[in-house]
Structure 1
Amino acid sequence: MRSALRERGYVRLLLLSLVLGAPISVACFFFVGFQHELQHWVWGSLPEAAGYGTPPWWWPLPALVLAGLVLAPIVTRMPGAGGHVPVHGLGGPPIGPRAVPGVVLAALGTLPLGVVLGPEAPLMAVGSGLALLALRGSRAAADPRTVAVVGTAGSTAAISTILGGPLVAAVLTVEAAALGGTRMVLVLLPCLIASAAGALVFTGFGSWTGLDIGDLSLPAVPPGAAPDAGDFLWGLPVAALIAVLIAAGRGLGLRTLRWTGRHTAVRTVVCATAVGGCVAVYALLTGRSPTEAALSGQDAIGGLAMDPHAWPVAALVALVLCKGLAWAIALGSLRGGPIFPAVLLGAATALACSGLPGFGTAPALALGITAAAAAVTGLPLSSAVLTVLLMGRAAHDQMPLIVAASVVAFVVAQLVRGDEAGAASGTGARSGAGAG
């Protein structure tokens, strides 16, 4: 360990990670900020200009048809096919610089239109691509280990703030890498220093520019109390239910991926249209805004946590069914991140069950978030850490339930989707920071 840290090449790698963290995060900040502004225009300013206070129920249909038409040529003709397919988690190896334009076009051209996916996977792809671009022409580019570490550091710097800061990103990196001992630490340090620099840049540019990046955060949570026997009695089966739902969605995503393997352009448009139909059905059934089902979920989960009683149980069930089906289709056909919408689906499922005798609202929210995150990523420790940071002070009392729900959801998801592990082109449930 000491000899490795003293090596001149490794010291240069740490310095390179520190230097790259800032410019990568500047680029990613404006990437996510621009995506968020486009999203506000599509679902806020444009409906208002058309004379609607909120988007009408049919609004998702033309929006998603347009998303499919935009994405189809990117997937079929551009290098990198617009990025990793979300059903494979947050991706596989770090993406190369040639694929970055396609990733950016796919994300900015479809995420604001409501494809029911998050920005986290494209963000990581952009981070790794820019980091590897910086290595071009150097001797380090010939070393596969250096390329892997620098690419991962770029991804970590990009994702750190939108997932809650360097700590979540670092834990996620360690757990996803499945490494141990000295090697784990040597991979972790560049990621930590790059993500710390990235978090500082995100914080500074957020205050200087006033842009909103739409990170995953809970502005308020229900009043907490220590979980009791009732919370565990109901909570652990609910965590298992969430894992089954997430695994079922992923299974449908894999079947959709196989279906779009032929006539990809046409079937991509068909899938996008089907996603829009699911969102429109949600708005028709509930009379609520289609944005709750169409967008990735950062804003919706914040509102759900702040005032869960504003959502009737029927609306929560409709959200889980309609958004869940749309998410499953999008996993295998569109481009984006799978985590944010899954977290919303888990929280909605748990809160729909929070009226059961002895089952509290705060414990339901906590276990819903961690169960969904563990099921979709296959990273139970990272999911628990993410939930603790999101819940803030309220997480202290919920810690035993959070950990138990994370483990239960992970185990159940692995058992349910075990038969499908080989169907995802060898990457299945694994990624550089994705499903496992």
Structure 2
Amino acid sequence: MTDARTSSGSPAAENDNGAMPLRTLALLAVPAVIIGVVSALILWGLEWVADQFEDYLWHWLPHATGLDPNNGWYIFTLLSLSGVAIGLVVWLVPGHGARDSATTELIAPPLKLAVIPSLVLVTILALAGGVSLGPENPIIAINTAVLVALIARLMPKVPTQLILLLAAAGTIGALFGTPVAAALVFTGVVAALKTGGSLWDRMFLPVAAAGAGSVTMGLLGGSTLTVNVPQMGPMQPIYFVYGLGVAIAATLLGLVMVFVFPHVHRFFHGLKYPIIYITLGGVVLGLLGALGGQITLFKGLSEMATLVNNRGDYDLGQLTLITLVKVAALVVAASAGFRGGRIFPAVFIGVALGLVAETLFPQIPISLALACGVLGLVLVVARDGWLALFIAAAVVGDVALLSVLCVIILPIWLMVSRAPEMIIHPAPQPRDPAPEPVAAAPA
């Protein structure tokens, strides 16, 4: 990331310790807040449209036709048709749905505006159709493209990479409902820059954007990560053993996904034509949805709350089936050309696995089981310890768990750090220039 520039367009003057001048920080705070607000508004608008379409497909249409939306045939048909629709968009619509989400980091170089309409369309179709992917990758790509183009026109002297990072921070703040998530992600980005000055000087603008995004999303009634479970209570030494066991199981399950992922991606994309491999992906997702039920569809945020609230209605076999179906659905959806993020479905899988562990071993506090399940899955998928810790604690809303999680994550990170990432790196094209490096947080 290049250093911020002053209003004159020259590199921002820095103090002897490398810190950005306070005047520059104050001036840039205004566009940072604006970027955060706009990021949240675009996210809210995208999710609102997707929710309306989802309500039509999964509630109004079945009610009007007398069909049961929980019937396996209905789920299979709708997901298969979603695959056909998205495949047609990727094949025929200008922009072709932008980059394959399987090949992109959470923060990537900005797209051209011309491809954004097709990306918006395939994202809405996937979210509404029940595809097991979240909105994080596409919405960050949409927001960074729109805001880089907009701010470049209105404030041409603000550096492009600064706009990119602020748009990403604002969107992450809006997605997870708090600026803390963005602050934790961007500590890694800032550290990678190896520039001088106070860390909080470097974090000031991303936190401003993330705070504005999260507050705006909260005012608009955005969803929350937290589920309703009892807190852990007084700490006991055995809890470390319980938690570590659940986290190891979750990490191993996540690593299986990671190792299978490139092979499944190679199979689908070996069919060459998007209309074929995305349609086939929709058919497979339809079969999985018919097997696991509607609880295994969509990005998984509201579904995990439903699963936790109604956990007494599911036995061990059903919870295991739901977990494995969601794992398969995430791998297929991410491999078959659908556009979407992998973090939200990973959170659902972690919660489901935590419920499996709590059913097997009732002596485990449920908040600990859920948090450790989420910790292991998100750490594998996102490859970011701060984000995994934050989401694990946020899901159960129990701050007391943080000390336990901070210890448990240490051996888990050793399992994950040298394993492949859940991302496909396309072979470089001989005539394409090498892309400019961008400080990126993993998906």
Alpha-carbon deviation of 1:314?
A: 1.0
Output the amino acid matched with 1:336.
Answer: G
Structure-2 residue corresponding to 1:108: 124
Structure-2 residue corresponding to 1:258: 266
Structure-2 residue corresponding to 1:74: 89
Q: TM-score, normalised by structure 1?
A: 0.84
Alpha-carbon deviation of 1:76?
A: 3.9
Contact 1:94 1:148 in 2 (8 A): no
Inter-partner Cα distance in structure 2 for 1:62 and 1:372: 30
1:292 paired with 2:291, answer no
Structure 1 residue aligned with 2:80, among 20, 45, 65?
65
Q: Deviations over 1:275-304 (max 9, x none)?
A: 11111122xxxxxxx221111110122123
Inter-partner Cα distance in structure 2 for 1:87 and 1:372: 19
Structure-2 residue corresponding to 1:407: 410
Structure-2 residue corresponding to 1:174: 187
The 1:421/1:415 distance shift into structure 2, 3 A limit, reads farther
Structure 2 residue aligned with 1:157, among 154, 170, 175?
170
1:120 paired with 2:136, answer yes
1:323 paired with 2:339, answer no
Output the amino acid matched with 1:200.
Answer: V
Contact 2:134 2:343 in 1 (8 A): yes
Alpha-carbon deviation of 1:332?
A: 1.6
Structure-1 residue corresponding to 2:6: none
Q: TM-score, normalised by structure 2?
A: 0.83
Output the amino acid matched with 1:345.
Answer: I
Where structure 1 has 5 or more consecutive residues not aligned to the other structure, the ranges are: 207-212, 283-289
1:225 paired with 2:233, answer yes
Higher helix share: 1
Contact 2:91 2:273 in 1 (8 A): no
Residue correspondence of structure 1 range 188-227 to structure 2 within 5 A: 188-206=203-221, 213=222, 215-227=223-235
Structure-2 residue corresponding to 1:375: 380
Structure 2 residue aligned with 1:348, among 352, 356, 359?
352
Q: Secondary structure at the match of 2:176?
A: coil
Contact 2:165 2:206 in 1 (8 A): yes
Contact 2:254 2:376 in 1 (8 A): no
Structure-2 residue corresponding to 1:384: 389
Q: Greater Rg, structure 1 or structure 2?
A: 2
Output the amino acid matched with 1:268.
Answer: I
Residue correspondence of structure 1 range 267-282 to structure 2 within 5 A: 267-282=277-292
Q: Deviations over 1:188-228 (max 9, x none)?
A: 3222111222223223333xxxxxx4x34224123422453
Where structure 2 has 5 or more consecutive residues not aligned to the other structure, the ranges are: 1-13, 429-434
Alpha-carbon deviation of 1:139?
A: 7.5
Structure 2 residue aligned with 1:38, among 43, 50, 53?
53
Contact 1:175 1:382 in 2 (8 A): no
Q: Deviations over 1:92-113 (max 9, x none)?
A: 3343433321221111122210
The 1:60/1:183 distance shift into structure 2, 3 A limit, reads farther
Inter-partner Cα distance in structure 2 for 1:401 and 1:54: 41
Q: Deviations over 1:36-89 (max 9, x none)?
A: 222233222322223245521122222122222222243345336334414645
Contact 1:124 1:158 in 2 (8 A): yes
Inter-partner Cα distance in structure 2 for 1:431 and 1:257: 25
Structure-2 residue corresponding to 1:51: 66
The 1:101/1:9 distance shift into structure 2, 3 A limit, reads farther
Which 10-residue stretch deviates more, 405-414 or 322-331? Answer: 405-414
The 1:54/1:293 distance shift into structure 2, 3 A limit, reads same
- Aligned pair count reads 413
Output the amino acid matched with 1:79.
Answer: G
Using the aligned pairs only, state the percent identity: 19
Contact 1:243 1:375 in 2 (8 A): yes
